[in-house]
Chains A and B, each alone.
Chain A
């Protein structure tokens, strides 16, 4: 007799949860859309790739070492970061990309009935991990494309455990300056955990951009996220980390999965982090190509939201998911923004000039 035993095992919050379906590999997409090339402008990857020294480490990795476990807690990386930021090595925890460290923090602090607070139009993984873990994600609307600190504070109740702030925000590029972040932390007064996700901080030149690593010395409830996926071009190796006070990191360590960062990723990241020249080159390219895009888009007459970070948002006079398909049929892959709750907007990653030209040409074609 047919029955539903499997379904009866599944918690309600999982039954109602939408799985994230990543895009197909490039060759499959190219086949589906009938194109012989693909400019990937959807994931904010570094067009220059990893720094040369990291590339050399990846090239020289000895295959027999693949049989050995990596350092389970990214030992040398933690010591390197401690030296770089003037903190203790035990104030860092590594994960398989920043996505994993988000899960560490939520698991460490939330229990049934708790909630987290973040923005409605930001990096989706805070909301995503909270929801599939059975916790409420309270989403505060952005104001002028930026996180609304006052409204976030208003949503706090006795069951709020974590507030996530993406700084600068993906996808809008807005950021909180030092004064604003300090004021936010002071108002919270240590009653909740505040996570500041700085995935794109290396792209910011502004002098008033906060130094959250420094702030963690003053605010024991502050947790900072960083990644090697963006500026350091190691997205494919999946390595990210969090930093905070000894107390907060000691608690999060209890939920931390060890051995999740592989040996090549650790060694490549260790080499990449000191390559200031690579950072300079990437910034220069991003700055120049952003300016190129802004000029071209202004000529076309399109509204843009261009803040910090290696991406730009564009408002289209058409459905963004149609724009995605039409651009894909020309070998240009952008991010449609409906999934970020910005219908009719797209986000374009800044890349090499050839790719930017291909995007502008494709955009003109689909708008004509």
Chain B
């Protein structure tokens, strides 16, 4: 997403400007390609947030709304100054009773969080607050037409595909590989093409002179931390191991990112064809198949640079896990212990939930620290279990000391640390997994 696709509105926190805000949001969303229904949802989310902020700050402070075209999504970023913002309604667990007048004030935030696909809130500086709302476009799911016949190819070139070839590649992956071996986005070939067009995804394919696709792989920068590249695959279609196609694709991928500022390459969706000598195993988490059986889910990665070492924040309860993992992975890390020490802490925490419903899986991430971390987490688990989520992860970024405060809450609620993702956020990210039956 580039700045040149941005449009911006500056207004004051005054309800009189509400029509201007809604009109701006709706027209921008439509201009950037959202369908009417999605544009209205995004518009309503903006309206609720604007109304809420007008309600908590009466000083006509300035507010900036920036709408951006992400090709496959539209993002609205709201920047303003509000002193007494309580974001608890952004939680998945929030519910507001019509009888609770105080709670009704938060209804707008609750509605806004449910209307968009992704959201983020953060303090910028002083009283500055940033709310990011993202609404994705709607794409048709791939029709299962069965695998396309591909013979072992004799000579291939590794190249960047055009959109139609890319869509064919995505369909081919979905028809030939199990659900747990590719990201859910791949089920929507048009979305994949748009994600490549937007620069978020990249792809390399092994194609012969007749245009037959022997295989390929895809990758993108990890959204939470720009220092990590996630890759998927390699996906090979009836190609012989001795063709060296997987190695050629991996070489080409590494060659194309090794001189960027990315530090690590991680593969969370590795196929059996992954050339293991290029990677190290970070560890294994549990994947639960629909029939309830547990399947080991390995994470592979490699550094792209020589690891120069780093400092991480850690709660004492996590120290031994980190020491053991860092030692076995040969990571040079200075662990600095920290934790809640009685200082003033916001009352309500907020967690973001990213659902992968096709795999009954959810990733929780802390958005806002709060005294109620343990109770909030407990409520999240209850709701997620009731919604049939079998795989629940929680990520904390060891580069943010406030996220470390969630460690006791996680351990109390049946989570165990499973993996360290190096440089996946501001620093390393620890992935906790909820243990079924705990």
Contacts and interface: CB of A to CB of B under 8 A. Distances in A.
A21 interface: yes
A353 interface: no
Interface stretch (B33-41, B275-283, B367-375, B410-418): B275-283
A338 B64 contact: no
B199 to A, nearest CB: 11
Contact of B309 (A19, A24, A322, A324): A24
Interface string A306-326: 000000000001110110111
A21 B251 CA distance: 23
Interface in A318-351: 318-319, 321-322, 324-326, 328-329, 335-336, 338-341, 343-344
A344 B332 CA distance: 20
Interface centre among A23, A124, A325 (most CB of B within 10 A): A325
Contacts of A127: 259
Interface centre among A127, A326, A336 (most CB of B within 10 A): A336
B308 A23 contact: yes
B267 interface: no
B227 to A, nearest CB: 11
A32 interface: yes
Interface stretch (B86-94, B206-214, B298-306, B356-364): B298-306
Contact of B305 (A1, A124, A339): A339
B258 interface: yes
Interface in B42-91: 62, 64, 79, 81
A321 B302 contact: yes
A120 interface: yes
Contacts of B280: 319, 322
Interface residues of B, number: 34
Interface string A23-41: 1100011001100000000
B270 interface: no
A207 interface: no
A2 interface: yes
B124 A120 contact: no
A339 B260 contact: no
A354 interface: no
A18 interface: yes
A324 B277 contact: no
Contact of A322 (B81, B258, B303, B334): B303
Contacts of B304: 321, 338-339
A270 to B, nearest CB: 35
Contacts of A2: 79, 124-125, 128, 130
A339 B278 contact: no
B278 A120 contact: no
Contacts of B128: 1-2
Contacts of A341: 254-255, 258-259
A33 B307 CA distance: 10
A1 B308 contact: no
B308 A21 contact: yes
A322 B300 CA distance: 12
Nearest to B330: A325
Contacts of B277: 317-319, 344
A319 B302 contact: yes
Contact of A319 (B278, B331, B332): B278
B306 A336 contact: yes
B28 interface: no
Contact of B62 (A1, A19, A32): A1
Contacts of B261: 18-19
Given A2-B125, A32-B334, A344-B278, A23 B258 contact: no
A343 B253 CA distance: 10
A1 B79 contact: yes
A21 B305 contact: yes
B308 to A, nearest CB: 6
B403 interface: no
Interface string B304-318: 111111000000000
A335 to B, nearest CB: 8
A58 B64 CA distance: 60
Interface in B167-219: none
Given A1-B79, A319-B278, A325-B331, A343 B259 contact: no
Given A1-B79, A319-B277, A343 B309 contact: no
Contacts of B407: none
B260 A18 contact: yes
A356 to B, nearest CB: 20
Nearest to A318: B277
Interface of B: 62, 64, 79, 81, 124-125, 128, 130, 250-251, 254-255, 258-261, 277-280, 302-309, 329-334
Closest 3 CB pairs of A and B: A321-B303, A32-B332, A325-B330
23 contacts: A1-B81, A1-B128, A2-B79, A2-B125, A18-B260, A24-B309, A32-B333, A317-B277, A318-B277, A319-B277, A319-B280, A321-B302, A325-B303, A325-B307, A336-B305, A336-B306, A338-B258, A339-B259, A339-B304, A339-B306, A341-B254, A341-B258, A343-B302
